[in-house]
Structure 1
């Protein structure tokens, strides 16, 4: 009875307000506008897809990702599903334009769409059209109507790479009351760590929770192997130079990094710094060029090996993992803002890592800190000291890099466990062994 009341209240009040605010925000924000427009376009893509494949997919897996980062992490899972069920169809839906707008195709994925507005009618329409065998939700982007509709239509729901950090608002009133009713609709919650598993057990029957690890560990090793085959910069630019890569940076990171780099370059004048902003908009890139001195910077799109500069500014998405392969030391951004970004990509190359104090959202960041592979910095002085120490002490740099690599390696293998759990719950017999990236 209470579940029905929550559904009614959500669809009468919260969902319409959220959708209305989204349409209003679209008038002022291009990113929001792209997401709103894309949802209407996706409705047509689904119709076309069903006309082509409507009666030919006994098994269709519907995968929900918030953004590009979550999609990157589940690529090994997509490969494993296709390896074991070659005739299945896979549809990936994104909440954010950062995912949908940056990927047009991927091996194993039959259709990319935007997730519908989280309102009863469009969500129900999606499930009626696709009739998925299962809904797989990545990490923590759980939407009420998506879960309620899937459950009502008897579609098994799996939360993969499930994480819930300590102190999360999801565990406090009033969200805790809602989440208890949402998560009990899940068939299985596949948590990334014992700690995350225990936190999910505060919300749901413990039998639904299984600790299997995180597929991002498998993916970073796969990316590391592939990136070594695809150099992104001319070797003449970085040969015989110390290289520092600052990845996924925000203005909050850069305001600490730039003064530190000014100090470091006094001691290491041939240092090559590659800065890869999380959102490489023209305004952001232009402000960085101004701050660094335009004569010191060259953009990736204009790279010229005959004109070496102290700074390379990355104005393209999707190549950060490749860039880490060139570095001796890395900094991971978001750690002076809201949430730290992917620390595993540099770890997979055996590189010591610096990041700021906002890292509690990342289980792997905690592992890297506790192992001694990462250095937490709180200001420009900490960054300068950390960089100078690591670049001038090769033994220490190698030691921390090896520790980072071991953290990443020890935690790989989640893909096989996740596919096994899904197939067991769906009573699907795997045709082949799960591939290791």
Structure 2
């Protein structure tokens, strides 16, 4: 099976190279890995103690960020290596000052993996949520380097739990410790005889609570809001944007702050056309002139600020639910606003929890969206109650970061004791 896996990895790399001339992210993926190993060798010291954190993309980085920052505070003498697989994470966080080294993850070829481990010689590795690169898992295990998966979540539909996936299950046995989000994940791991895990929850809740407590100054946003009822729409996609445009037409008393998932020029132009009747304003252009008083929609065409903007709304809509899956619900819920999302939420525990406690609402189409949004805006008491439920849920789920650091500490302390005993 390892042979077939390696064939897949080589094929994956080949397909990305084929796509690169035609697809921007593929070009970034290739360009970012050019001279990767020589760049790594130039910066790392020979006698440094390195701990390695890996995030697939930006969302996983934000999920693991509280652990990275808590680790820095708890273990200041260690150097932190942060890797990303995708350009959307690396390009936005390549200058993140919470890590000493930030690089793309090399493709999971055996030769790449051996060289990577030889360069950094990490004392411990932490993978955030998922991305099971089996050659990396094998090499870490071979070198007796502890490997943790944090904020991990498992579903019975995943291939690990299929009858034919025995080899993949065997690879998971080489992971040192799984810190999972919920009991369902724990039960699934138990079902395949993986018992080295514990339920600690999702570190995203710690991250969004920290953001919500930060004081921010967005004078342009405040000018736009101007005491109006506002719906903040985050990580939106075209299917949801069609519904939002129709709702602005029906409810002429509200305004919208809309932060699309993709902010390329083509998509921004499509949004401007779609919302043309409501005098759309781009956030990037607000520094040139005051916001038009007629405008009822402010389009956020800048990355990195959405998590601070939900505080300006009475209701939130989080996109992705008409495609592969919803985006970050706790990011909105932490501000005490009810959260609306689309129908494709099944794999997301927080969506089920928010539906259950009354802080979240799912919609299937324009009609159901109108019904939910109208009720929230027209019944303030109901809206406030739903918002409080959403916030209480986030606060209840916090605390995973502390437990994660405590578990990591066990292994680092054990390493130090072993090193001291060898030197006696």
Q: State the TM-score bracket (shorter-chain normalisation).
A: over 0.9
**Does 2:212 align with 1:229?**
no
2:331 to 306, 327, 345: 345
2:31 to 32, 37, 40: 37
2:236 to 249, 266, 272: 249
1:360 to 322, 346, 349: 346
Q: How far apart are the structure 1 equivalents of 2:328 and 2:414?
A: 33
Q: Name the structure 2 match of 1:150.
A: 140
Between stretches 176-185 and 394-403, larger displacement belongs to 176-185
1:54 to 46, 50, 74: 46
* Structure 1 segment 50-199 matched on structure 2, within 5 A: 50=44, 53-55=45-47, 57=48, 59-174=49-164, 176-199=165-188
Q: Name the structure 2 match of 1:328.
A: 314
Q: Name the structure 1 match of 2:360.
A: 374
Tell me the CA shift for residue 86 of structure 1. 0.7
Residues 407-431 of structure 1 deviation map (CA, whole Å, 9 limit, x = unaligned)? 000010001101111221343599x
Q: Name the structure 1 match of 2:420.
A: none
- Kept after mapping to 1: 8 A contact 2:232/2:257: yes
Q: How far apart are the structure 1 equivalents of 2:167 and 2:342?
A: 33
Tell me the CA shift for residue 20 of structure 1. 0.6
Tell me the CA shift for residue 329 of structure 1. 0.3
SS in 2 for 1:102: helix
- Kept after mapping to 1: 8 A contact 2:21/2:27: yes
- Kept after mapping to 2: 8 A contact 1:183/1:203: no
Q: Name the structure 1 match of 2:3.
A: 8
Question: Runs of 5+ in structure 1 lacking a partner?
Answer: 1-5, 431-437
**TM-score, normalisation: structure 1:** 0.91
2:370 to 384, 393, 414: 384
Q: How far apart are the structure 1 equivalents of 2:329 and 2:177?
A: 27
Q: How far apart are the structure 2 equivalents of 1:128 and 1:394?
A: 60
**Does 2:252 align with 1:281?**
no
Question: Runs of 5+ in structure 2 lacking a partner?
Answer: 417-424
1:307 to 268, 273, 292: 292
Tell me the CA shift for residue 214 of structure 1. 1.0
SS in 1 for 2:93: coil
Q: How far apart are the structure 1 equivalents of 2:415 and 2:98?
A: 19
SS in 1 for 2:34: helix
Q: Name the structure 2 match of 1:296.
A: 279
Q: Name the structure 2 match of 1:272.
A: 255
Tell me the CA shift for residue 253 of structure 1. 2.0
Between stretches 90-99 and 254-263, larger displacement belongs to 254-263
Tell me the CA shift for residue 87 of structure 1. 0.8
- Kept after mapping to 2: 8 A contact 1:179/1:203: no
Q: Name the structure 1 match of 2:19.
A: 25
Q: 1:428/1:319 Cα in 2 relative to 1: closer, same or farther (>3 Å)?
A: farther
Q: 1:217/1:247 Cα in 2 relative to 1: closer, same or farther (>3 Å)?
A: same
Tell me the CA shift for residue 167 of structure 1. 2.6
Tell me the CA shift for residue 124 of structure 1. 1.1
SS in 1 for 2:191: coil
Backbone CA RMSD of aligned residues? 1.7
Residues 120-168 of structure 1 deviation map (CA, whole Å, 9 limit, x = unaligned)? 1111100010000111111011111111121122211101110113433
Q: 1:333/1:173 Cα in 2 relative to 1: closer, same or farther (>3 Å)?
A: farther
1:200 to 189, 193, 196: 189
**TM-score, normalisation: structure 2:** 0.93
Q: Name the structure 2 match of 1:238.
A: 225
Between stretches 102-111 and 327-336, larger displacement belongs to 102-111
- Kept after mapping to 2: 8 A contact 1:234/1:305: no
- Kept after mapping to 1: 8 A contact 2:160/2:169: no
Q: How far apart are the structure 2 equivalents of 1:241 and 1:260?
A: 16
- Kept after mapping to 2: 8 A contact 1:63/1:90: yes
Q: How far apart are the structure 1 equivalents of 2:411 and 2:75?
A: 15
Aligned length: 413
Residues 60-93 of structure 1 deviation map (CA, whole Å, 9 limit, x = unaligned)? 1111101011111111111221122111011110
SS in 2 for 1:210: strand
Tell me the CA shift for residue 105 of structure 1. 2.6
Q: How far apart are the structure 2 equivalents of 1:345 and 1:18?
A: 33
Between stretches 230-239 and 311-320, larger displacement belongs to 230-239
Q: 1:288/1:201 Cα in 2 relative to 1: closer, same or farther (>3 Å)?
A: same
Tell me the CA shift for residue 218 of structure 1. 0.3
Q: 1:41/1:286 Cα in 2 relative to 1: closer, same or farther (>3 Å)?
A: farther
Q: Name the structure 1 match of 2:421.
A: none
- Kept after mapping to 2: 8 A contact 1:261/1:384: no
